């Protein structure tokens, strides 16, 4: 485990921007599971995640949720692990008006919503481990 520094956050951003949505969908499906990934995307049918992982068409909003979810998971699993990332996604969060981060992401359409969750994840991940 390594600390979440500004340099690591920049690496995660760069990696996210260079990785296509199919690979990100496959990564999240492997790490979070298909159902949780579908929930994060706001998708009703978990099978949609498998289609996205195969390169199927994805709406702009879901692609944004996918990329933001990927950044957040990577930020938390860097100093912790994937189980901590899952727990953080489903836990209520005072920085998000006591909503679970995954609920905010699943309904997010505005940049401010994504920024709020990303900021909360970064604050959590940057805390002393």
Task: Tell me the pLDDT tens digit for each residue of 33-76.
Answer: 999 999 999 999 999 999 999 999 999 999 999 999 999 999 99
Residue 126 is encoded by which pair of tokens?
A: 């940057």
Helix (H), strand (E) at residue 30: helix 21-32
Q: Which of 66, 48, 65 is nearest to 57 (CA)?
A: 48
Question: pLDDT by residue (tens digit) across 70-81?
Answer: 999 999 999 999
Question: pLDDT by residue (tens digit) across 13-35?
Answer: 999 999 999 999 999 999 999 99
Return the axis-axis angle of helices 82-90 and 60-77, rounded to nearest 10°.
Answer: 120
CA distance 32 to 37: 6
Residues present in the chain in total: 129
Residue 82 is encoded by which pair of tokens?
A: 């994937």
């Amino acid at each position: 485990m390594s600390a979440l520094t500004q340099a690591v956050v920049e690496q995660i951003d760069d990696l996210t921007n260079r990785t296509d949505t199919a690979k990100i969908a496959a990564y999240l499906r492997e790490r979070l599971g298909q159902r949780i990934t579908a929930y994060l995307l706001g998708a009703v049918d978990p099978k949609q995640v498998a289609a996205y992982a195969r390169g199927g068409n994805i709406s702009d909003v879901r692609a944004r949720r996918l990329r933001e979810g990927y950044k957040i998971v990577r930020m938390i699993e860097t100093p912790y692990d994937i189980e901590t990332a899952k727990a953080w996604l489903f836990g209520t969060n005072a920085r998000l008006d006591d909503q679970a981060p995954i609920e905010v992401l699943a309904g997010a359409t505005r940049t401010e919503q994504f920024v709020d969750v990303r900021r909360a994840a970064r604050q959590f991940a940057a805390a002393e481990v």
